[in-house]
Amino acid sequence: MMKKIIVIGNGIASTLFVYFLSQRVKEKIEVLSLADDDLFPRCTLKSTSLVAKRGAKKGTPLGDLLTNSFDEVESFFSFWKNKYQSIQRVEVTSLCQKGSKFEEDYLRRFLNQVKDENDFLEFKEWGYLFDAKKILEDLEQEIVSSENILWKKEKEAVVRSFFCSEKEKYTLQCLSGKEIEGKYLFFGTNAYSSLLLDYPLKSEVITGHYLKFQSCNLGDKSFVYNLHEKTFTYRAEENSIEIGVVSTKGFNASLKEDQLKEIYSLFKPIFSKNIPPLEKGEVLFGYRHKIMGRRPGLFIDKKVNQSILMASLGTYKNGFSYNFVLAKEAVDEIMNHWAEVL
Ligand SMILES: Cc1cc2nc3c(=O)[nH]c(=O)nc-3n(C[C@H](O)[C@H](O)[C@H](O)COP(=O)(O)OP(=O)(O)OC[C@H]3O[C@@H](n4cnc5c(N)ncnc54)[C@H](O)[C@@H]3O)c2cc1C
């Protein structure tokens, strides 16, 4: 019988998981994807989607994950760029105003590699900027063209709850009343995870707001500036500028006018007349999932005999890089399980 995996979610975590799976399996397997992106909007499409090292070093679990994730994205980019344009290499400039409360942390992070530029300290590095919509489309194209995946997608499928049935399987209960059984589950449900999953670590939802300006021209190269933990992103291919992020606790969609204005004013003197007036900016927001103590990871539950439940959790500010590691870990887990058990 064909093996079947159920994936809940349609964002970068779930799509990378199915993509990496398609690269590893040697036989045809069925993947059923369930999501409702209207009811649970994808953070993936409301993200400034930059991957940069920003002084991360190995030596702690978080430092290891940050650097390994960066390396994964870097090597992924090196072959992806030959076929697709959904990731680009960009210059990332991190600035810090001299004498500001951010200086100590900034110097610890970038050590003595910073340049002294008048009122600012400056550090430059290469990072990777994703076009979120395009990377999902490109990954989907690769999955669909893989001979090993029979991919079925249900678009308005809300998973309300699930339980372990006596038959050593999980039963997912959908809002429509439909029940779906499966032995292998992957949750890429991000901020909505705590509505469904019972996992041991405390977590919270953090809403992120930012401003997006269209029809801007700052040249033919995309770039990113960081200043005092805030970001300015210029996307040359779409002539847009993104400025943010305002972070607030919980599912908090209300306008963050004052805080966004503050961030806009931070960058305005640097880019002067090149930034459109504040009122031209569209306010966008997405919901992020944060595990207390910044402990993102792959949650694995094997309580049900011969079945596996996995979830990519707490990816918070780094979902575009962590998932390159976590989705691969999830694929390893399932491949090892099949090798041992079946
Ligand atoms: C403003 C902002 C800026 C960011 N900037 C960056 C950045 O610069 N770099 C970076 O790496 N990361 C950044 N992030 C974080 C990154 O965008 C996220 O970590 C990542 O997109 C999460 O992807 P995901 O696939 O896990 O979740 P999502 O994209 O949120 O997808 C969740 C999926 O689960 C589905 N779902 C949820 N619950 C259910 C249910 N009960 N039943 C059925 N389906 C369900 C939804 O429909 C959706 O398809 C930023 C986030 C925000 C908000």
Dihedral of alpha carbons 6, 85, 289, 105, sign: positive
Is pLDDT above 90 for 117? no
Confidence band, pLDDT 50/70/90 cuts, at residue 225: very high
Residues 229 and 246: their CA atoms lie apart, in Å, by: 10
Confidence band, pLDDT 50/70/90 cuts, at residue 167: low
Q: Say what the pLDDT of residue 341 is.
A: 75
The contacts of residue 4 (CB under 8 Å, 6+ apart) are 29, 30, 31, 32, 182, 183, 184
Q: Could you read off the pLDDT of 168-220 as tens digits, one per residue?
A: 899 999 999 999 999 999 999 999 998 999 887 899 999 999 999 999 999 99
Instruction: Kindly write down the DSSP assignment for every residue of 42-53, as one continuous string.
Output: -GGGS---EE--
Confidence band, pLDDT 50/70/90 cuts, at residue 342: low
Is pLDDT above 80 for 325? yes
Q: Using a 6 Å cutoff on CB, does residue 132 contact ligand 1?
A: no
Nearest to 189 by CA among 3, 4, 33, 25: 33
The answer to whether 237 touches 222, Cβ cutoff 8 Å, is yes
Q: Say what the pLDDT of residue 123 is.
A: 96
Is pLDDT above 90 for 227? yes
104-113, 225-234, 307-316: which range is least confident on average?
Answer: 104-113
Is pLDDT above 90 for 154? yes
Measured in angstroms, how far is the CA atom of residue 246 from the centroid of ligand 1? 16
Q: Say what the pLDDT of residue 168 is.
A: 81
Mutational test site, ligand 1, from 49, 70, 135, 232, max ligand atoms within 8 Å of CB: 49
* Percentage of residues of the chain with pLDDT beyond 70: 99
59-68, 163-172, 227-236, 276-285: which range is least confident on average?
Answer: 163-172
Can you tell me which atom of ligand 1 is nearest the CA of 36? 47
Measured in angstroms, how far is the CA atom of residue 292 from the centroid of ligand 1? 17
Q: How high is the mean pLDDT of the chain?
A: 94
Q: Could you read off the pLDDT of 119-153 as tens digits, one per residue?
A: 899 999 999 999 999 999 999 999 999 999 999 99
Residues 20 and 117: their CA atoms lie apart, in Å, by: 44
Question: Checking DSSP bridges between strand 169-174 and strand 179-182, what pairing results, if any?
Answer: antiparallel
**Encoding tokens for residue 49?**
């989607």
The answer to whether 123 touches 113, Cβ cutoff 8 Å, is yes
39-53, 80-94, 160-174, 255-269: which range is least confident on average?
Answer: 160-174
Residues of the chain with CATH 3.50.50.60: 1-49+131-202+294-342
Mutational test site, ligand 1, from 320, 322, 323, 324, max ligand atoms within 8 Å of CB: 320
* Percentage of residues of the chain with pLDDT beyond 90: 85
Q: Using a 6 Å cutoff on CB, does residue 281 contact ligand 1?
A: no
Q: Say what the pLDDT of residue 333 is.
A: 96
CATH superfamily assigned to domain 1-49+131-202+294-342: FAD/NAD(P)-binding domain (3.50.50.60)
Which residues in 72-86 are b (16+ Cβ under 10 Å) and which e? bbbeebeebeeebeb
The answer to whether 281 touches 209, Cβ cutoff 8 Å, is no
Q: Could you read off the pLDDT of 38-86 as tens digits, one per residue?
A: 999 999 999 999 999 999 999 999 999 999 999 999 999 999 999 999 9
Mutational test site, ligand 1, from 185, 288, 316, max ligand atoms within 8 Å of CB: 288
- In 27-114, DSSP assigns E strands to 29-34, 50-51, 87-97
Measured in angstroms, how far is the CA atom of residue 42 from the centroid of ligand 1? 5
Q: Could you read off the pLDDT of 291-305 as tens digits, one per residue?
A: 988 889 999 998 787
